[in-house]
């Protein structure tokens, strides 16, 4: 007490979960990080007032965790497996880097691709892309290397908002979809657990909306924290959301007057008036090939963009024209009967009555009907609002979908119906309505508006993977075959990780017919992901990775994936590393800023032990592998986030020599500030160290895509999916020409309107058919949900997080309906066994009223058996119980975290 102390406050960012980045300051006393606080200086800029969520408060303990790996390590036991002790021994950085570089050079000498055509080098990064904001210049190393297989599933992607990512980007440049929460009045949330998953910005926005009187209805099988603070909870039967949404479409089109819908929006901003010809493709003008609409003014069919046209929204007409199908299919029609896409839609949903859905969803028809009417009433069709001087429609209703609803079978239906419901009341991409956050498949990633480019037929262009005879990639270029099988996944730097990433694991066990012989990657690099815990069928995933010949894991602590590693490398963690990142604009989950710019992550304290900055590691690897020049050039091109050369400035690095970590980020800081200010201001690393961020205003008009479509005279590609029909037909032909039949179920989904299928039945039948079990022996649905306190398995090793989480029900066992438990003789705290068709696990029963009797829930992703501290939780996870199956893969390549199980009591309360 009383001794003079040096106290500093250091600004930095947190991006531990996808709801970030958020800004904070860390107090450092005598060189020791002691406290996390909001960044009050950024309160006027950051959408959550410069605050961070509970997870960021764990960063001090994260830094000083006694279980950290703090030196490079080498495996001494050549055998790999769960039961093998790796025998890790500490080695020097020199030795570690030399071993890795020697291996990489050996691989490079053989050729970047192996005899199957697959990259010899693979890399997996987890957590929804957040690791990029911690890995410094590693992306430049990978770019310098050449082809890398990024397609080994790391938990993210196919389990995430997968179908939403793909269809969302197609329809409205929406990698993820959110309400315009600050203006909305009515939110229908199908399993979107925003109060747990939305981070500090999401929680803040929704709290404000509640104060304003906005009404949120939570539709999901268990009462999540989001349900608990919603106006209403509707306990729907799992995987039946598509039927509920189809029934809403029915109510809007068959039970309420047409005038209540936004008819001008449908006519002018969607393809509703386009005429559909007998083979299911649009009727087109023979000369221009443009789709035709029925012009009420002239009483004939004319191209959709004819000046002065008054397109009919509904009706059947007789007209002539051509129809262009798959490949060279072409039909010439003389005076044939055609109908508008909208009329087709009305017919399509005729049978989808609330009564029909009620039986499927186990939700009363009256509830579905009432919710649909509330949705229309709150939409305020006709209202307008001024945003930054421009008058836009105001439609304060939105529908959001959570994971398990927007991925796997039924995901297409749910994403389609949600987007369509927005169109029916003109609420897509307008104030108060349903908005996309950001793009990852379309380019440029930094600006959603700039990604709006005119494509064919009056829609936005889309970067499909080709399916025509000449363009189709018959030989997959990575092990999950994303470009071969999934036209929608495009070919951006994110596309591999959004391919059917479980196929890469499954095929390690058996290559599917007509595919190249399956090979393991010769070198696999892993950072901030733990697929041995976070993916499906974790035993099988672990077995496959144990057979990989050479695995390099960046390691914070020991974990279940790096248990199979040959080399462990300790990286400078969140508060120790240096990196500049883009912030602001609009971003998932609900990061909507009125600013954009850059933030610095900086060493708040020096790295502990032998941990090294990522940029140093990447530079050393590039140098030792002999690709330093290519690596520096990649940084110059912007691989670390910013192009170093722009109009009127050039901070490019000399490609021939290695640069220090500070030199590299100093150049990035200067280029970033020049880019942001059009060359007016240039700030180096020192400036960013003290200021933390540099921003300029971001127009709120850019939150909404609608103005960009109006300005370019474009339409949303709704409701009829003519392009998907064509693309799917072509893909089917290509696969069948090769003799591939194992993707046939997925091909059925390429329909212009997504048909309802018995989605829960698909999950149950897959178990019976693949494992020879009886469906009725697995009567419960096992589902999972987010915890606000945990970012996946990222922070399970932090004691403080566990302490906070313990205050929230559900973290220590298996949630089961109290009434159902009583029937089965299960009391609170009893040990129960949960068995799927492939495996059983155990946990303590937590009895709750707030869950359907046919559903049980395992929060988060635990079940660790190596990760220090977490391995003592004894909290079960669904992941070992959930098989990877082709039958459970939809046409976009996604699956869902849901599995039929049986339960029984095996022991009394502890
Ligand atoms: N049961 C269940 N499973 C799920 C889900 C679910 O809801 N329930 N969700 C799925 C979804 S949507 C996703 S996106 C995935 C995410 O799953 P993953 O992408 O696999 O991510 P994490 O589980 O966070 O893995 C993080 C790993 O990084 C390590 N780590 C943390 N900090 C550092 C660091 O500073 N340096 C280094 N080198 N390593 C660090 C941690 O120890 C941990 O092993 O999980 C999926 N799996
Ligand atoms: N704190 C925190 N925030 C995160 C993450 C994190 O790990 N921690 N991860 C981020 C990532 S990568 C993702 S993908 C998102 C996920 O974000 P969300 O999708 O919002 O979150 P979950 O809680 O995983 O979603 C599961 C919810 O869906 C419900 N559910 C399950 N099956 C069904 C069904 O068939 N129908 C309906 N209607 N509901 C169902 C469950 O009851 C649960 O409440 O969260 C992101 N945000
Ligand atoms: S929401 Fe995510 S990024 Fe933001 S402070 Fe919390 S953990 Fe960090
Ligand atoms: Mo995710």
For residue 17, the ligand 3 atom closest to its alpha carbon is: 2
Q: Are strands 551-554 and 591-601 parallel, antiparallel or unpaired?
A: unpaired
Choice among 23-27, 63-67, 561-565, 587-591 with the minimum mean pLDDT: 587-591
Give the Å distances, CA to CA, from 536 to 540, 560, 863, 882, 883: 9, 14, 13, 5, 6
For residue 786, the ligand 1 atom closest to its alpha carbon is: 7
Residue 345 CA to ligand 3 centre (angstroms): 42
Domain ranges of the chain: 761-907
- Segment holding 417, helix H or strand E: helix 411-424
Compute the distance between CA of residue 189 and CA of residue 275 in angstroms, rounded to an integer. 33
CA 383, distance to chain mean position in Å, is 33
Contacts of 837 (CB under 8 A, 6+ apart): 767, 770, 771, 773, 778, 883, 900
Answer yes or no: is the C-beta of 407 below 6 A from any ligand 2 atom.
no
Answer yes or no: is the C-beta of 708 below 6 A from any ligand 2 atom.
no
Ligand nearest to the CA of 864: 1
Answer yes or no: is the C-beta of 403 below 6 A from any ligand 2 atom.
yes
For residue 787, the ligand 2 atom closest to its alpha carbon is: 1
Take atom 19 of ligand 1 and give the residue whose Cα is closest.
126
Could you identify the residue written with the tokens 């087709």? Answer: 344
For residue 14, the ligand 3 atom closest to its alpha carbon is: 8
Closest CA to 488 of 541, 415, 421: 415
Answer yes or no: is the C-beta of 555 below 6 A from any ligand 1 atom.
yes
Take atom 47 of ligand 2 and give the residue whose Cα is closest.
197
Report the chain's mean pLDDT, rounded to a whole number. 97
Answer yes or no: is the C-beta of 75 below 6 A from any ligand 1 atom.
no
Residues lining ion ligand 4 (Cβ < 5 A) are 128, 156, 160
For residue 588, the ligand 2 atom closest to its alpha carbon is: 46
Per-residue pLDDT, averaged over 10-39, amounts to 97
Answer yes or no: is the C-beta of 879 below 6 A from any ligand 1 atom.
yes
Task: Indicate the top mutation candidate among 15, 494, 794, 901 to test ligand 1's pocket, ranked by most ligand atoms within 8 A of CB.
Answer: 794
The confidence band for 2, taking pLDDT boundaries of 50, 70 and 90, is low
Residue 162 CA to ligand 2 centre (angstroms): 12
pLDDT of residue 726: 98
- Segment holding 845, helix H or strand E: strand 840-848
Task: Indicate the top mutation candidate among 404, 413, 497 to test ligand 2's pocket, ranked by most ligand atoms within 8 A of CB.
Answer: 404
Compute the distance between CA of residue 650 and CA of residue 421 in angstroms, rounded to an integer. 49
Length of the chain: 910
Closest CA to 703 of 449, 400, 451: 449
Residue 4 CA to ligand 4 centre (angstroms): 46
Take atom 5 of ligand 3 and give the residue whose Cα is closest.
52
Tens digits of per-residue pLDDT, 430-464?
Answer: 999 999 999 999 998 877 999 999 999 999 999 99
Answer yes or no: is the C-beta of 252 below 6 A from any ligand 1 atom.
no
Ligand nearest to the CA of 161: 2
Task: Indicate the top mutation candidate among 21, 130, 599 to test ligand 3's pocket, ranked by most ligand atoms within 8 A of CB.
Answer: 21
Take atom 26 of ligand 2 and give the residue whose Cα is closest.
785
Which residues lie with the beta carbon below 6 Å from any ligand 3 atom? 14-17, 19-22, 52-53, 55-56, 199-200, 791
Residue 97 CA to ligand 3 centre (angstroms): 32
Residue 408 CA to ligand 1 centre (angstroms): 20
Take atom 37 of ligand 1 and give the residue whose Cα is closest.
556
Tens digits of per-residue pLDDT, 628-662?
Answer: 999 999 999 999 999 999 999 999 999 999 999 99
Please state, for a pLDDT cut of 90, what percent of the chain lies above it. 96
Compute the distance between CA of residue 285 and CA of residue 457 in angstroms, rounded to an integer. 11
Burial of 774 (0-12, 13-18, 19+ CB in 10 A): exposed
pTM value > 0.85: yes
Q: Where are the alpha helices (DSSP H) in 681-798?
A: 685-691, 706-711, 722-737, 744-747, 759-771
For residue 192, the ligand 2 atom closest to its alpha carbon is: 20
Tens digits of per-residue pLDDT, 295-329?
Answer: 999 999 999 999 999 999 999 999 999 999 999 99
Half-sphere exposure of 784 (CA within 13 A, CB side): 26
Residue 354 CA to ligand 2 centre (angstroms): 26
Closest CA to 201 of 49, 48, 50: 48
Answer yes or no: is the C-beta of 877 below 6 A from any ligand 1 atom.
yes
Per-residue pLDDT, averaged over 678-698, amounts to 97
pLDDT of residue 154: 85
Residue 200 CA to ligand 1 centre (angstroms): 19
pLDDT of residue 809: 85
Take atom 36 of ligand 1 and give the residue whose Cα is closest.
556
For residue 786, the ligand 2 atom closest to its alpha carbon is: 23
- pLDDT over 80 (residue 266): yes
Angle at 833 between CA 831 and CA 836, to 5 degrees: 160
Answer yes or no: is the C-beta of 801 below 6 A from any ligand 2 atom.
no
How does DSSP classify residue 851?
B
Burial of 656 (0-12, 13-18, 19+ CB in 10 A): exposed
- pLDDT over 60 (residue 779): yes
Residue 399 CA to ligand 2 centre (angstroms): 15
Tens digits of per-residue pLDDT, 557-599?
Answer: 999 999 999 999 999 999 999 999 999 999 999 999 999 999 9
pLDDT of residue 798: 96
Closest CA to 540 of 177, 24, 81, 144: 81
Q: Are strands 831-835 and 840-848 parallel, antiparallel or unpaired?
A: antiparallel
Answer yes or no: is the C-beta of 794 below 6 A from any ligand 1 atom.
yes
Take atom 4 of ligand 3 and give the residue whose Cα is closest.
20
Closest CA to 559 of 868, 343, 805: 868
How does DSSP classify residue 181?
T
Residue 861 CA to ligand 2 centre (angstroms): 12
Q: Are strands 591-601 and 579-587 parallel, antiparallel or unpaired?
A: antiparallel
Strands, sheet with 32-38, edge to edge from the N-terminal-most edge strand: 7-14, 22-29, 32-38
Task: Indicate the top mutation candidate among 220, 244, 368, 862 to test ligand 2's pocket, ranked by most ligand atoms within 8 A of CB.
Answer: 220
Per-residue pLDDT, averaged over 109-126, amounts to 97
pLDDT of residue 910: 64
The backbone torsions φ and ψ at residue 314, rounded to the nearest 5 degrees and listed phi first, read -125, 160
Take atom 1 of ligand 3 and give the residue whose Cα is closest.
199
Ligand nearest to the CA of 244: 2
Task: Indicate the top mutation candidate among 13, 58, 154, 159 to test ligand 1's pocket, ranked by most ligand atoms within 8 A of CB.
Answer: 159
Per-residue pLDDT, averaged over 689-710, amounts to 97
Q: Which two tokens stand for residue 65?
A: 């965790």
Closest CA to 794 of 202, 86, 154, 22: 154
Compute the distance between CA of residue 429 and CA of residue 715 in angstroms, rounded to an integer. 12
Ligand nearest to the CA of 404: 2
Per-residue pLDDT, averaged over 503-512, amounts to 92
Take atom 30 of ligand 2 and give the residue whose Cα is closest.
191
Contact 514, 169 (CB under 8 A): no
Answer yes or no: is the C-beta of 242 below 6 A from any ligand 2 atom.
no
For residue 15, the ligand 3 atom closest to its alpha carbon is: 3
pLDDT of residue 445: 80
Q: Which two tokens stand for residue 170?
A: 């197609």
Task: Indicate the top mutation candidate among 123, 126, 501, 601 to test ligand 1's pocket, ranked by most ligand atoms within 8 A of CB.
Answer: 126
Ligand nearest to the CA of 591: 3
CATH classification number, 761-907, choose in 2.60.200.20, 2.40.40.20, 2.60.40.10, 1.10.8.60: 2.40.40.20
- pLDDT over 90 (residue 353): yes
Q: Where are the alpha helices (DSSP H) in 44-122?
A: 59-64, 93-110
Take atom 2 of ligand 3 and give the residue whose Cα is closest.
17
The confidence band for 181, taking pLDDT boundaries of 50, 70 and 90, is very high
Per-residue pLDDT, averaged over 192-212, amounts to 97
Q: Is 694 helix (H, G, I), strand (E, B) or coil?
A: strand
């Amino acid at each position: 007490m009383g001794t003079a102390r040096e106290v500093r406050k250091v600004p930095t960012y947190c991006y531990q979960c996808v709801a970030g980045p958020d800004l904070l300051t860390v107090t450092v006393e005598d060189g020791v990080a002691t406290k996390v606080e909001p960044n009050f200086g950024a309160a006027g800029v950051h959408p959550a007032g410069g605050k961070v969520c509970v997870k960021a408060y764990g960063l001090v303990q994260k830094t000083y965790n006694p279980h950290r790996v703090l030196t490079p390590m080498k495996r001494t036991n050549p055998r790999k497996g769960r039961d093998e002790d790796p025998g890790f021994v500490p080695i020097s950085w020199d030795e570690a880097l030399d071993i890795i570089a020697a291996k990489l050079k050996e691989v490079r000498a053989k050729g970047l691709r192996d005899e199957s055509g697959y990259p010899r080098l693979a890399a997996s990064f987890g957590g929804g892309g957040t690791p990029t904001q911690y890995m410094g210049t590693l992306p430049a190393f990978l770019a310098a290397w050449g082809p890398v297989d990024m397609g080994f599933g790391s938990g993210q992607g196919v389990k995430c908002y997968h179908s939403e990512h793909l269809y969302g980007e197609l329809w409205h440049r929406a990698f993820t979809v959110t309400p315009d929460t600050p203006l909305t009045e009515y939110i229908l949330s199908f399993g979107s657990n925003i109060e747990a998953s939305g981070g500090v910005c999401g929680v803040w926005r929704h709290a404000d909306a509640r104060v304003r009187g906005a009404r949120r209805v939570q539709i999901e099988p268990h009462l999540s924290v989001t349900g608990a603070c919603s106006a209403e909870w509707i306990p729907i039967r799992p995987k039946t959301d598509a039927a509920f949404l189809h029934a809403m479409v029915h109510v809007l089109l068959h039970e309420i007057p047409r005038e209540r819908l936004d008819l001008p929006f449908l006519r002018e901003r969607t393809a509703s008036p386009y005429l559909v010809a007998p083979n299911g493709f649009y009727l087109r003008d023979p000369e221009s090939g443009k789709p035709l609409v029925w012009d009420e003014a002239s009483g004939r069919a004319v191209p959709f963009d004819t000046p002065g046209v008054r397109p009919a929204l509904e009706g059947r007409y007789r007209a002539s024209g051509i129809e262009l199908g798959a490949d060279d299919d072409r039909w010439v029609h003389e005076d044939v009967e055609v109908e508008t896409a909208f009329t087709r839609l009305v017919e399509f949903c005729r049978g989808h009555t609330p009564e029909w859905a009620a039986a499927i969803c186990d939700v009363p028809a009256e509830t579905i009907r009432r919710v649909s009417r509330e949705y229309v009433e709150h939409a305020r069709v006709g209202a307008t609002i001024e945003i930054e001087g421009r008058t836009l429609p105001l439609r304060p209703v939105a529908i959001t979908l959570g994971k398990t609803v927007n991925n796997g079978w039924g995901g297409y239906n749910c994403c389609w119906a949600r987007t369509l419901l927005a169109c029916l009341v003109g609420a897509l991409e307008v104030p108060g309505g349903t908005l996309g956050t950001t793009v990852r498949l379309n380019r440029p990633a930094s600006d959603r508006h700039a990604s709006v480019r005119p494509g064919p037929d009056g829609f936005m262009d889309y970067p499909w993977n080709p399916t025509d005879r000449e363009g189709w990639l018959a030989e997959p270029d990575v092990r999950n075959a994303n470009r071969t099988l999934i036209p929608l996944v495009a070919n951006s730097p994110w596309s591999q990780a959004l391919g059917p990433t479980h196929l890469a694991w499954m095929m390690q066990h058996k290559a599917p017919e007509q595919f190249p012989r399956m090979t393991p990657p010769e070198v696999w690099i892993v950072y901030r992901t733990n697929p041995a815990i976070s993916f499906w069928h974790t035993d099988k995933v672990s077995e496959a990775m144990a057979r990989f010949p050479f695995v390099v894991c960046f390691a914070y602590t020991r974990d279940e994936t790096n248990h199979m590693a040959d080399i462990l490398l300790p990286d400078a963690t969140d508060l120790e590393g240096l990196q500049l990142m883009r912030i602001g604009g609009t971003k998932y989950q609900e990061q909507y800023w009125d600013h954009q710019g850059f933030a610095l992550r900086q060493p708040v304290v020096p790295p502990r032990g032998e941990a090294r900055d990522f940029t140093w590691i990447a530079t050393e690897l590039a140098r030792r592998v002999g690709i330093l020049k290519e690596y520096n050039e990649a940084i110059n091109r912007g691989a670390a986030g910013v192009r170093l050369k722009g109009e009127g400035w050039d901070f490019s690095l000399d490609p021939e020599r290695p640069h220090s970590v500070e030199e590299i980020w100093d150049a990035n800081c200067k280029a970033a500030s020049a880019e942001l200010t059009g060359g007016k201001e240039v700030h180096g690393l020192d400036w960013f160290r003290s200021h933390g961020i540099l921003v300029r205003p971001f127009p709120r008009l850019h939150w909404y895509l609608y103005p960009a479509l109006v300005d370019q005279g474009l339409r949303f590609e709704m409701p009829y999916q003519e392009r998907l029909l064509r693309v799917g037909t072509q893909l089917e032909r290509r696969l069948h020409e090769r003799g591939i039949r194992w993707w046939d179920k997925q091909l059925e989904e390429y329909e212009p309107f997504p048909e309802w299928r018995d989605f829960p039945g698909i999950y149950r039948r897959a178990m019976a058919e693949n494992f020879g079990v009886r469906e009725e022996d697995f009567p419960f649905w096992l589902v999972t949900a987010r915890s606000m306190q945990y970012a996946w398995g990222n922070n399970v090793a932090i004691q403080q997080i566990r302490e906070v989480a313990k205050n929230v029900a559900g973290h220590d066992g298996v949630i089961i309906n109290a009434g159902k438990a009583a029937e089965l003789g299960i009391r609170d705290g009893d040990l129960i066994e949960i068995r799927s068709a492939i495996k059983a696990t155990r946990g303590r029963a937590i009895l709750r009223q707030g869950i359907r009797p046919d559903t049980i829930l395992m929060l988060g992703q635990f079940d660790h058996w190596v990760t220090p501290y977490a391995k003592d939780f004894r909290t079960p996870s669904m992941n070992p119980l959930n098989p990877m199956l082709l039958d459970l893969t939809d046409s976009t390549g996604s699956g869902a975290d849901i599995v039929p199980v049986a339960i029984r009591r095996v022991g009394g309360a502890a």
